[in-house]
Amino acid sequence: MAAAAESDDPLTAALDRLVPDAPGHGFGADIDEAHTVLLSAAASREEKEAALRRWFGGHQPCVFAKVAARPDADPALDICWVDEEDLARGAEHVEKLLQQARERWKLRALAGRTSSLQVMFNSARLAHARPGPELLEVFRLLVGLYLPEWAPIAADTICLDGVPLRRPDGRLELFAASMTVFFTGAHLTRAHDHRVPGGMLLNVNAVGHHTQAAHDAGRFRTHAEAVRNSHGTALRSVGNGGIGHPTGHSSTWHLGGDRPTGYGLRRPPRPGHLPADADPERYGSLYHIDVTVSSYYADPTPFPPPAAGPAPDEWTMMLDYFTAEESPAYHNAALMTGLPIGPEQLHDAPWRPEPRPNSRREF
């Protein structure tokens, strides 16, 4: 019998090429428990969103997300839900859904009510897809449907969205929002810190917007105090990604003092703990955390590697954009300092994706 012709729709065709993982493959007790709701045909979307928020509150390494997922959080965490049926309808339908959600989110962000959008692609096919080039292609396509002004999205680039904020005096400012992909298949790989239940998650987070909105709302006496609080939250997020790993291995770790940084010598701190000797501006990582779709996501190799395997690459990540200065000497200043804009620029994303070619790996 002749093979079925590949779909003309790029998203449908890419999803059809996914390679399923081995039957019975698990993702750790926390994710497997969340999947009893997130991958259940009987659960409502409201029940699934509640399950995802519970997972965020207990198992998300990022302290910002843990706090923002609380029911009373302000600024809050918004969720855009894309299910299996939406994906089956193809790229045009998904892009329309994403752009509508993106516009609604930015209008809420304008009033300081939210600084983070979580786009949940809730799909058993994505959750049980084996990491590889086929899965990487789906990630690239879905990110491009969210950020069509910069599509096609290449792997190993840093993509930024723009998030507007109306200041108390009426001025409009645009903050850069990081965009990173989390996925179920990251479990026990180099990218273990970017695991999530339910399929794939596009995390769009504007920490500078969050900081400024919190200050404008009167929760901090000065902007500098708000920045220090956000900086401390970012530092406490480092090293928390060992949840769900049988040895507690995390893809990030603190640097500082005489603490060894080579793989196998460091020990992850308990969640939320900040070592006394932590470097305030740098931390170590097994891959570039800010890259939106890392080519490492295509590698299914369990991590840590066997003792006889090659030593892993390590990155030094910077946190030097956490500054209260109005014009920090840093090329990504908009991550913390808003850019003045006009009302016609509320939905802009002016930053061209920035390549990080040294993170590229072929599998």
Is residue 183 assigned to a domain? yes
Could you report the per-residue pLDDT of 113-152, keeping only the tens digit for each? 999 999 999 999 999 999 999 999 999 999 999 999 999 9
Q: Which residues neighbour 272 within 8 Å (Cβ) at sequence distance 6 or greater?
A: 63, 236, 240
Is residue 10 assigned to a domain? no
Is residue 180 assigned to a domain? yes
Q: Which of 138, 175, 142, 180 is nearest to 159 (CA)?
A: 180
Is residue 13 assigned to a domain? no
What is the pLDDT, as a whole number, of residue 23?
A: 84
The pTM assigned to this predicted structure is 0.92
Residue 75 has pLDDT above 80, yes or no: no
Is residue 118 assigned to a domain? yes
Is residue 9 assigned to a domain? no
Q: Which two tokens stand for residue 127?
A: 């959750």
Question: Average pLDDT for residues 247-265, to the nearest whole number?
Answer: 66
Residue 1 has pLDDT above 50, yes or no: no
Is residue 127 assigned to a domain? yes
Could you report the per-residue pLDDT of 267-323, keeping only the tens digit for each? 444 555 677 778 888 898 989 999 999 999 999 988 887 766 666 778 889 888 887
**Bigger pLDDT: 48 or 4?**
48
Q: What is the 3-state secondary structure (H, E, C) of the chain?
A: CCCCCCCCCHHHHHHHCCCECCCCCCCCHHHHHHHHHHCCCCCCHHHHHHHHHHHHHHHCCCHHHHHHCCCCCCCEEEEEEEEHHHHHCCHHHHHHHHHHHHHHHHHHHHCCCEEEEEEEEECHHHHCECCCHHHHHHHHHHHHHHCHHHCCCCCCEECEEEEEEECCCCCEEEEEEEEEEEEHHHCCCCCHHHCCCCEEEEEEECHHHHHHHHHHCCCCCCHHHHHHHHHHHHHHHCCCCCCCCCCCCCCEEECCCCCCCCCCCCCCCCCCCCCCCCCCCEEEECCCCCCCCCHHHHCCCCCCCCCCCCCCCCEEEECCCCCCCCCCCCCCHHHCCCEECCHHHCCCCCCCCEECHHHCCCC
**Bigger pLDDT: 203 or 301?**
203
Give burial (CB, 10 Å; 0-12/13-18/19+) of 17.
middle
Q: Which domain holds residue 51?
A: 30-363
Is residue 16 assigned to a domain? no
Q: How many domains does the chain have?
A: 1
Mean pLDDT score of the chain, rounded to an integer?
88
